[in-house]
Chain A
Amino acid sequence: MPHLRWARALGASALLAVLLASAACGGGAQPSSGGNSSGLQVIKIATQSPLSGDESVQGIALKNGAALKLKQEYDQFKAMGFDLQLDPQDDKGDPNTGVANAQKLAADSQVLAVVGHLDSGVMIPSEAQYHAAQLPIVSPANTNPNVTSQYKYPEISRICGRDDVQGPVGAIFAKDQLGVKTVFVIDNITAYGTGVANAFKQKAQEIGLQVVGSQSIDKSETDYSNVLTQIQQVKPDLVYYGGLYQGFALMLNQAAVRGIHTKWMGPDGVFSNGLVATAKENAIGVYATSVAAPTNLTPGGQKFIQDYTAEYKENPDPYAIYGYDAMGVVLQGLKDAIQKNGGKLPTRAQVRDAIRAITDYQGALVKVGFDSIGDNIYAGYYVYQITSANASTTGDAKLMAQYNPKGELVSQ
């Protein structure tokens, strides 16, 4: 009998080992990990985003966008004597994991910069780690004001706009373009969702919209009947959901069952292919504010769509191009730092300063120039409406209005 037991334990652990090995292989696709037999110096650029869990549609899109840019510039860096590698980390949309990953990256001296974090709630607690290690990070998507305004670390920059403009833009649009009088505000109890919902609510009250109710509901909740019953009772003209697409999609589906007819709006976190995939025709008519210009309207964006589709065999999620351009900014800073250092491997501090010194980088979609706290002075704000249930193109979203960095209407 004891033999049998041992054999079983052995078998189980062998099975486990196989599973772990296959999981590890599936995790990171690196063209040439480790060895640099050709005498190239390794530079690693990390990404930090949720590759698993509820937010992985957006997180993987960010990573894929960044990976594509890195691949395209690989040869340039090779010519300079460097072997550029991607080091993708999975922050799971979880603050603890984000901080642990940041510590790991800080300890790896080959990592010179990071593209990352999808969630402001993960970015903010991780910032101290990047600062301590002088490791620069460029955020493609963190819109919470505190990301740059709280600590003002020189390592932290972002290429997207801020929620204290994005939220108000939603309120202004709702009043001026939609003629809404009453609003109901919901948030998903995260730094991002609560922040943007509060910014929306505050502006709404300022400009004379009536906030007829507000509720918070955990982002992992699947049953929205409680808050929907309240919405049904007060009948607002518009419901604003500060959060990510998953919760919003479920709420839309359950609202449709209830027969609730109202206008819906959310911030950039809900503006994803994932929303349309889950909510289908219930997503039609939804308004979303975004910090992303329409990808398909610029020549750079069209080229990006082509390249991305060729590489990954799917249409890019709206976040993908932000990962691409954030990586572009990082690599531009890296190039500048290498040049300044006489072609030799720069230090993290040099890369950090070179990134922050960027004033007019033209990405595929965004123009980037950093102010003193790392906000992008060219960040614009956009309002979209989803017009179809086609998930591969984010419901053929239609641009409804465009606002400048101060939140003033530019065009309709």
Chain B
Amino acid sequence: MSSTLQTLPQLVLDGLVVGFVYALIAVGYTMVYGVLKLINFAHGDVFMVGAFVGTEVLRALTAGGRPLSPWALLLAAVVAAAAVTALLGAGIERVAYRPLRQAPTLILLVSAIGVSFLLEDLVRLVESIHLGKFVLPVPTVFATVYRIHVAGLQNPLTIRLNSIVVVVASILMMVGLTLFVGRTRPGKAMRAVAEDRTTAALQGIDVNAIIALTFLVGSGMGGAAGALFATQYTLVTPYMGFDIGIKAFTAAVVGGIGNIPGAFLGGILLGVLEQVGGGFIGTKFQNVVAFAILVLVLVLLPSGLLGERVQEGA
């Protein structure tokens, strides 16, 4: 028992890092749900596209040696990934969701699943033509590793500089998003649309533009998360979005879907539970433990940790 306790600090630390990534993706689910009441199942694959864009940028910039500092490399990868996926997300909304906006939500859901498959196979096709393979190793950005000796622990805590960067970047994006939604006019409009689309339109808000903006921001954050994730876990595949997408979606639900800080909290909680549960009960039960606890949370708090009671459109 003491040996499992010995590992606890490291498990929590690793859980936090992956939790912040879940959180960034969960935000995308929750924002889209907020304005459209749609579970955007393609969002996990938008994240995947972001991971590939980030990886390709890093490959290109490190192809002939390393003229750039790691900070510049990471910035370039994340910005490129966010830009591409923001446009991609808005494009998906325009092509796959807007024409179906009057249709029942289930139809939109089917459309989202279709987009999800399309993105996976498109990335597979493009990378196969481009490189002849579609499972790509990711160039290392920050090689620095910190080992912190803590009194009472046999092993030093290992923290990669990369992990710290992932966490800090996530927090910055999160703060930025909160300010954007809470303090700016477009953010206010977004909240208005989420609350009541028809009334918002009557107030002179361009609903289509605001929905597009929501996709732009949510997808961009998902894509940025993809690039960060790629640097952290060193391998990208076209199918990586599915599992992570499901987990981030769960995080969004647990946090209270439609609620942005809730999504963040849910993501971090899921990441930590997964690692700690795996460490105590067995790695193969990692997901089982995490999801069991999450179900329990939902039984006790049906609308999620920070969720208000949302009325489903009848």
Q: Which of B10-18, B29-37, B62-70, B177-185 contacts A (4 or more CB under 8 A)?
A: B10-18
The CA of A258 and the CA of B163, in the complex, are separated in Å by 13
Q: B147 in the interface, Cβ–Cβ < 8 Å?
A: yes
Q: What distance in Å separates the Cβ of B27 from its nearest Cβ neighbour in chain A?
A: 20
The CA of A308 and the CA of B147, in the complex, are separated in Å by 47
* Contact flag A259-B145 (CB < 8 Å), given A233-B7, A233-B155: yes
Q: What distance in Å separates the Cβ of A181 from its nearest Cβ neighbour in chain B?
A: 18
The CA of A22 and the CA of B129, in the complex, are separated in Å by 11
The CA of A250 and the CA of B239, in the complex, are separated in Å by 16
Contacts of A227 in B (CB 8 A): 278, 283
Cβ contact within 8 Å between B135 and A230: no
Cβ contact within 8 Å between B155 and A232: yes
Chain A 1-56 residues near chain B, CB threshold 8 A: 5, 12, 19, 22-23, 26, 52-54, 56
Cβ contact within 8 Å between A216 and B282: yes
- Residue in B7, B235, B274, B278 whose beta carbon sits within 8 Å of that of A278 in the complex: B235
The CA of A216 and the CA of B6, in the complex, are separated in Å by 21
Q: B233 in the interface, Cβ–Cβ < 8 Å?
A: yes
Chain A 231-287 residues near chain B, CB threshold 8 A: 232-234, 246, 249-250, 253-254, 257-259, 277-278
Q: A412 in the interface, Cβ–Cβ < 8 Å?
A: no
Q: B286 in the interface, Cβ–Cβ < 8 Å?
A: yes
Contacts of A232 in B (CB 8 A): 7, 10, 155
* Contact flag A52-B124 (CB < 8 Å), given A229-B11, A257-B158: yes
Contacts of A233 in B (CB 8 A): 3, 6-7, 154-155
Cβ contact within 8 Å between B275 and A220: no
Which residue on B lies nearest to A274, using beta carbons?
B135
Q: A222 in the interface, Cβ–Cβ < 8 Å?
A: yes
Q: A215 in the interface, Cβ–Cβ < 8 Å?
A: yes
The CA of A56 and the CA of B237, in the complex, are separated in Å by 12
Q: B137 in the interface, Cβ–Cβ < 8 Å?
A: yes
Q: B284 in the interface, Cβ–Cβ < 8 Å?
A: yes
Q: A180 in the interface, Cβ–Cβ < 8 Å?
A: no
Which residue on A lies nearest to B145, using beta carbons?
A257
The CA of A19 and the CA of B121, in the complex, are separated in Å by 10
The CA of A59 and the CA of B283, in the complex, are separated in Å by 28
Contacts of A218 in B (CB 8 A): 284
Cβ contact within 8 Å between B283 and A258: no
Q: Please encode chain B, from 115 to 137, with 1 for each CB lying within 8 Å of some chain A CB and 0 for all others.
A: 00000001011001100011101
Q: What distance in Å separates the Cβ of A317 from its nearest Cβ neighbour in chain B?
A: 12
Cβ contact within 8 Å between B10 and A229: yes
* Contact flag A54-B237 (CB < 8 Å), given A218-B284, A225-B275: yes
Q: B199 in the interface, Cβ–Cβ < 8 Å?
A: no
Contacts of B282 in A (CB 8 A): 215-216
Cβ contact within 8 Å between B7 and A222: no
Cβ contact within 8 Å between A250 and B125: no
Q: A199 in the interface, Cβ–Cβ < 8 Å?
A: no
User: Quick one: which of A23, A257, A278 has the most chain B CB within 10 A?
Assistant: A257
Q: What distance in Å separates the Cβ of A105 from its nearest Cβ neighbour in chain B?
A: 24
Contacts of B283 in A (CB 8 A): 215-217, 226-227, 230
Which residue on A lies nearest to B125, using beta carbons?
A23
Contacts of A220 in B (CB 8 A): 239, 243
Which residue on B lies nearest to A186, using beta carbons?
B283
Contacts of B61 in A (CB 8 A): none
Q: A189 in the interface, Cβ–Cβ < 8 Å?
A: yes
Q: A57 in the interface, Cβ–Cβ < 8 Å?
A: yes
Q: A206 in the interface, Cβ–Cβ < 8 Å?
A: no
Residues of B in contact (CB 8 Å), total 39
Cβ contact within 8 Å between A226 and B240: no
Cβ contact within 8 Å between A226 and B286: yes
Q: Please encode chain B, from 85 to 106, with 1 for each CB lying within 8 Å of some chain A CB and 0 for all others.
A: 0000000000100010000000
Cβ contact within 8 Å between B279 and A223: no
* Contact flag A229-B235 (CB < 8 Å), given A217-B284, A220-B243, A222-B240: no
Cβ contact within 8 Å between B14 and A250: no
- Residue in A189, A226, A250, A259 whose beta carbon sits within 8 Å of that of B279 in the complex: A226
The CA of A19 and the CA of B237, in the complex, are separated in Å by 20
The CA of A250 and the CA of B229, in the complex, are separated in Å by 14
The CA of A278 and the CA of B233, in the complex, are separated in Å by 12
Chain B 227-244 residues near chain A, CB threshold 8 A: 233-235, 237, 239-240, 243
Q: What distance in Å separates the Cβ of A263 from its nearest Cβ neighbour in chain B?
A: 19
Q: B188 in the interface, Cβ–Cβ < 8 Å?
A: no
The CA of A23 and the CA of B10, in the complex, are separated in Å by 45
- Residue in A22, A56, A230, A257 whose beta carbon sits within 8 Å of that of B160 in the complex: A257
Cβ contact within 8 Å between A229 and B279: yes
* Contact flag A226-B11 (CB < 8 Å), given A216-B282, A246-B135: yes
The CA of A278 and the CA of B284, in the complex, are separated in Å by 24
Contacts of A223 in B (CB 8 A): 14, 18, 233
Contacts of A258 in B (CB 8 A): 158
The CA of A143 and the CA of B3, in the complex, are separated in Å by 36
Q: What distance in Å separates the Cβ of A357 from its nearest Cβ neighbour in chain B?
A: 40
* Contact flag A56-B6 (CB < 8 Å), given A229-B11, A257-B160: no
* Contact flag A226-B124 (CB < 8 Å), given A57-B133, A258-B158: no
The CA of A143 and the CA of B145, in the complex, are separated in Å by 39
The CA of A12 and the CA of B94, in the complex, are separated in Å by 14
The CA of A240 and the CA of B275, in the complex, are separated in Å by 22
Q: Please encode chain B, from 240 to 282, with 1 for each CB lying within 8 Å of some chain A CB and 0 for all others.
A: 1001000000000000000000000000000000110011001
Nearest 8 pairs between A and B by C-beta? Answer: A216-B284, A225-B14, A226-B278, A215-B283, A222-B233, A229-B10, A278-B137, A229-B7
Q: List 15 A-B contacts (CB under 8 A).
A: A12-B95, A22-B125, A23-B125, A52-B124, A54-B135, A54-B237, A215-B283, A216-B284, A226-B278, A230-B283, A246-B235, A250-B235, A257-B145, A257-B160, A278-B137
Interface of B toward A, CB cutoff 8 Å: 3, 6-7, 10-11, 14, 18, 95, 99, 122, 124-125, 128-129, 133-135, 137, 145, 147, 154-155, 158, 160, 233-235, 237, 239-240, 243, 274-275, 278-279, 282-284, 286
